[in-house]
A and B are shown apart, each in its own frame.
Chain A
Amino acid sequence: MVGNAAEAEDLTQEAFLQLHRKIATFRGDSAFSTWLHRLAINVVLMHLRKKGLPLMSLDEAMEPTHDDGPGRSFGAPDLSLSGSIDRLALERAVAELPAGYRLIFVLHDVEGYEHNEIAGMLDCSIGNSKSQLHKARLKLRDALRTSLQREGQQ
């Protein structure tokens, strides 16, 4: 999520400090692992907010957006990514995703969590998780196609 091992370690430490402070508020409404994951995700989101990245709270991140940013795809299939996806370009595109989309994409497509697990961690509906993931992939496709087009022009 933060793209940097040292920062990730600092955030791990902060998450455990938060855990130590808040453990008494755990009421057992959800699995402990779900509660801890949500706490850790909030630590990461707060950190990104402090860094001044365009960000939202976890709740805002999971609000369905009215931004249909990633365009629907009509017209000719002019530029296909298949077989030509560049790992660095994809990493860059993921890093540039808005935090809410990045969170869902990393949890599902990179780390392999299922939608029901993500919904539990982020306290959102399964449908919301599915639609945010889909929008994240569409945004990545737009970014990768733009990057391919730029390369083609050079």
Chain B
Amino acid sequence: MTEDRNNRTCQEFQEHLADLIASGEDVSKNPHLQTCANCRALLADLETIAEAARQLFPIEQPKEDLWDRIELAIKKEEGSIQSE
């Protein structure tokens, strides 16, 4: 019974977690987390993932000739349309 009740509370908390996180409020102060190690671990993991994501895929600058290639491709397409 205790477990069912606890799980139901976890379920309710987790159903609202997307909104709670997106609201920008400090979710760690949520009353449910004061008594639930499982949901605390879940929140910590999600925060770790979001934090780690900022270090992913460093922005790469395109090659210098990319814009020339694009211009050429557009002119080529315009040329083929006009010749039709």
Contact surface of A with B, Cβ cutoff 8 Å: 3, 5, 8-9, 12-13, 16-17, 20-21, 72-77, 80-83, 85, 87, 90-91, 94, 105-106, 109-110, 112, 115, 127, 130-131, 133-134, 137-138, 140-141, 144-145
Judge whether B66 is part of the interface by a CB distance below 8 angstroms. yes
Q: Tell which of B18, B41, B52, B54 touches A131, judged by Cβ atoms closer than 8 Å.
A: B18
In the complex, are the beta carbons of B52 and A12 less than 8 A apart? no
In the complex, are the beta carbons of A74 and B10 less than 8 A apart? yes
Report the Cα distance A127→B19, complex, angstroms. Answer: 8
In the complex, are the beta carbons of A90 and B49 less than 8 A apart? yes
* Contact pattern, B 30-48, Cβ under 8 Å of A = 1, otherwise 0: 0000000111111011101
- Quick one: which of B30-84 are within 8 Å of A by CB? 37-42, 44-46, 48-50, 52-57, 60, 62-63, 66, 69-70, 73-74, 77
In the assembled complex, which residues on chain B have CB atoms less than 8 Å from the CB atom of A130?
18-19, 22
* Those 5 A-B pairs whose CB atoms lie nearest each other, nearest first: A77-B41, A134-B18, A109-B53, A81-B45, A130-B22
In the complex, are the beta carbons of B57 and A110 less than 8 A apart? yes
In the complex, are the beta carbons of B49 and A12 less than 8 A apart? no
Judge whether B28 is part of the interface by a CB distance below 8 angstroms. no
Q: Tell which of A73, A110, A133 touches B10, judged by Cβ atoms closer than 8 Å.
A: A73
Report the Cα distance A106→B46, complex, angstroms. Answer: 15
In the complex, are the beta carbons of B22 and A81 less than 8 A apart? no
In the complex, are the beta carbons of B14 and A72 less than 8 A apart? yes
Q: A16-B70, A130-B18 are in contact. Are A75 and B38 (CB under 8 A)?
A: yes
In the assembled complex, which residues on chain B have CB atoms less than 8 Å from the CB atom of A127?
19
Report the Cα distance A130→B57, complex, angstroms. Answer: 22
Q: How far is the CB of B21 from chain A (nearest CB, A)?
A: 7
Report the Cα distance A131→B18, complex, angstroms. Answer: 6
Q: A16-B70, A73-B39 are in contact. Are A90 and B52 (CB under 8 A)?
A: yes
